[in-house]
Amino acid sequence: MSVLTPVRGSGRIYAVNPVAKLAASLLLSLFLLVTVDWVSALVALVLESVLFVWAGLGARAFFRRTAAIWIAAPLAGVTTVLYGLPSGVAYFEFGLIHVTEGSVQLALASALRILAIGLPAVVLFATIDPTDLADGLAQVVKLPSRFVLGALAALRLVGLFLDDWRQLELARRARGIGDTGRLRRFLNQAFALLVLSLRRGSKLATAMEARGFGGSTVRTWARPSRFGAGDWMLVLIGLAIGAVALGTSIATGSVNFVLG
C-alpha cells in the first residue's frame, strides 16, 4: 500500500548496496545507448542472463516483475518492422507500411536493446529499498543528508496522497458535483490534493525539525551503508558487459552509432 514499504528478500541481489545497482545499471545503459544494432544487444543479453541466475530472484519472481518489458520489447519491434525507416530489399508494402531488410534489422535491434537495458534495470531497481538507497546516497555518494532524507520522507507521503485522492473523489460525488464538468472537477480535486499535501508536508517538516533534523550538528547514521568488494564487483560487471557488447559489435562491423 505504502510506497515505502520496506523491500526485503532473501536473494543475493538484496544484499548489494543500492548505489552499486544504480551505477552498474547506468554504465551498462550508456554503452548500449551508443549504438543500435542487434549484435551488441544480443551479447549483452546473453552475459546478463548469467547475472539474473546469480541474483537469486527465482524464475517466477523474475518474470512477474519483468512482464512489462517482455511485452514492450516485441511491440516496439513489430512497430519498427512495419513503420521503420525503409532501406534495403523491400519484402512487403501497404500504404504507410514498408517491411524492408533495414526495418527488420532495426526492429530486431530495438527489441533486443529494450530487453538488454530494461531487464537488468528492473531486476536491480525493484530490489532497492528506498531507505537503503537514501543511506547509500548520503553515506557512499556523500549527497547532502538534508536533501536525501527530505526526499525520502516526502516519498513516504505519496502513499497517503493516494488515499487522500480516493477520499476527495468520493467527497465530490457526495457533494453533488460528481455528474458533470469532468475536467474542472479534476483540476479542483488536484488543487485540493495540493493543499492537503502541502499541509501534511509542513506538519511532517515540523515533526522532523523538532527531532533535530536540519540542525548544525554533524549527523550520525544508525544504519551503516557499506560499499564492499562485492559492490565494486557488480559495478565492474556492468561496465564489462557494456564494453564487451560494444567491442564485439565494433569487431564484427555491425556497429551502428546513434550519433554518427
Partner 1 sequence: MTRVTRVARGEGSGPLGAVPDARAEPSGPAGVAPAAAARGTTPAAAAGAELRAEGPAAGAELRAEGWGWRHAGRAEWAVRGLDLTIAPGERVLLLGASGAGKSTLVHAFAGVLGGSDEGEQEGSLTVGGRLPADSRGLTGLVLQDPDSQVALARIGDDIAFGCENLGVPRDEIWRRVDEAMEAVGLDLPLDRPTSALSGGQKQRVALAGVLAMRPEVVLLDEPTANLDPAGVAEVRDAVAAVVRSSNSTFVVIEHRVDVWLDVVDRVIVLDPGGGVLADGDPATVLRERGAELARGGVWVPGFDPLQGRPARQAAAAPAPAAATDARPTLLATADLAVGRTPAAVAARGLDLDVARASALALTGPNGAGKSTLALTIAGLLEPLGGTLRARPALTGDPVPAAAEAVPPAADSDVPVAEGPRARADERRHRREVRRARRRGGTHGRALGEHPFAWPSRELLTRIGTVFQDPEHQFVTGTVRGELEVALRALRLDAAEIDARVTEVAGRLRLDGLLTANPYTLSGGEKRRLSVASVLVARPAVLVLDEPTFGQDSRTWAELVRLLGEQLDRGTAVVAVTHDRAFIEALADRELEVRPAEGSGA
Note the residues at the interface with partner 1 (CB under 8 A).
1-2, 4-6, 8, 130-131, 149, 152-153, 156, 159-160, 164, 166-168, 170-179, 188, 192, 195-196, 199-200, 203-204, 206-215, 217-224
Instruction: Please state the closest distance from residue 183 (CB atom) to partner 1, in A.
Output: 15
Query: Residue 217 contacts by C-beta under 8 Å, 6 or more apart in sequence?
Result: none
Taking the least distance from each CB to partner 1, the nearer of 93 and 209 is 209
Taking the least distance from each CB to partner 1, the nearer of 192 and 239 is 192
SS (H, E, C) 116-157: HHHHHHHHHHHCCCHHHHHHHHHHCCCCCHHHHHHHHHHHHH
Instruction: Please state the closest distance from residue 211 (CB atom) to partner 1, in A.
Output: 4
Report d(CA 181, CA 82) in Å as an integer.
40
Reported residue count of the chain is 260
Taking the least distance from each CB to partner 1, the nearer of 214 and 247 is 214
Taking the least distance from each CB to partner 1, the nearer of 204 and 239 is 204
Instruction: Please state the closest distance from residue 189 (CB atom) to partner 1, in A.
Output: 8
Instruction: Please state the closest distance from residue 126 (CB atom) to partner 1, in A.
Output: 16
Instruction: Please state the closest distance from residue 15 (CB atom) to partner 1, in A.
Output: 15
Query: Residue 163 contacts by C-beta under 8 Å, 6 or more apart in sequence?
Result: none
Taking the least distance from each CB to partner 1, the nearer of 76 and 155 is 155
Pairing status of strand 90-94 against strand 97-100:
antiparallel
Taking the least distance from each CB to partner 1, the nearer of 96 and 210 is 210
CA 235, 237, 243, 246 dihedral sign is negative
Instruction: Please state the closest distance from residue 218 (CB atom) to partner 1, in A.
Output: 5
**One-letter identity of residue 41:** A
Please state, in angstroms and as integers, the Cα–Cα distance from residue 230 to each residue in 27, 122, 123, following that order.
17, 20, 17
